[in-house]
Amino acid sequence: MGKRIAFLMWGLCLFGFGIVLTVKSNLGTAPWDVLHLGLTNYLPLTLGQVSQGCGALVIALSWFLGVKPGWGSIANMIFIGFYIDFFMWLPFMPSPTSLPAQLFMLLLGIWIIGWASYFYLTAAFGAGPRDSFMVGAVAKTGQQVWLIRTLLESSVAIGGYFLGGPIGLGTIIIALTLGPSIQWAFRLRNERPEDIQHRSFFKDSVKPLAKASNE
C-alpha cells in the first residue's frame, strides 16, 4: 500500500510539473488546460484552483452518470491543482522566447506527463475525474470511446478558446504525442495499462472503466 501511495503522489507531482512546462512553453496547451486558463481570465482564482474546481464539478457529473469516484479521482482533483500552483510560483520557471526553446519545454512537459501517467495509473487507485466523466458518457450514450473523447476535448478546447485560453501549435503536438508518450513509459517498464486492477471507494466503481476501455 505504501508503494502505491508513493506512486500516486509522485505521479500527481509530475503531472503538475509537466502541465506547467506545457503552459510556460507558450505554444498552446492541452484542451482542458485551454479551458482552465480561459477561466482564469474571468475568475479571481489561480490556474491550480480552477483545475481543482473543474475537477470537483466533473467528479459530480461523473457520479451522476454512474461512475463513482475512487481515491485516485479525489487525489487527482486536489493535488494536481496544488502542484500546478506550486511550480507556477517558482521563480526559476521562466517562459522561453525562442521557438527551439519553446518546443523543447513543450516536449519535455509531454514526456514528463507520460511518466506521470505511468506512476498514477500503476498506483491503481482509479481513473482521474475527466477520464471518469468520459467513461460515464460512453456508458450512457453507447457511443465509442474515441468519439466521446474527441467531442469532449473539442468542446472544452473551443469553450476555453472563446474565454481567451491558448490554442496553438502546442495543442496539436500534445494531441499527437501524449498518447505515445504514455505508451512509451509503460513499454520501458514492460507493463501494460490494461492489466492494472484499480481499487476505489466502491466495489463496482471501476467496472464501467474496464468495460469502456474495451469498446
- Name, in order, each residue with C-beta under 8 angstroms of 171's C-beta and a sequence gap of 6 or more: 28, 29, 30, 31, 34, 157
Domain limits, the chain? 2-213
pTM for the whole structure: 0.85
Q: Percent of the chain beyond pLDDT 70?
A: 89
Annotate 72-92 with DSSP letters as a single string.
HHHHHHHHHHHHHHHHHH-TT
Where is average pLDDT lowest: 23-37, 75-89, 124-138, 148-162? 124-138
- Is residue 89 within 8 Å of residue 33, measured between CB atoms? no
In angstroms, the CA 177 to CA 26 distance is 17
CA 146 – CA 138 distance, rounded (Å): 10
Q: For residue 58, which of 32, 83, 39 has the smallest C-alpha distance?
A: 32
Beta strands in 110-154 (DSSP E): none
Residue 214 — pLDDT band, cuts 50, 70, 90? very low
The reported pLDDT for the residue numbered 89 is 93
User: Which grid cell sits at 12?
Assistant: 500527481
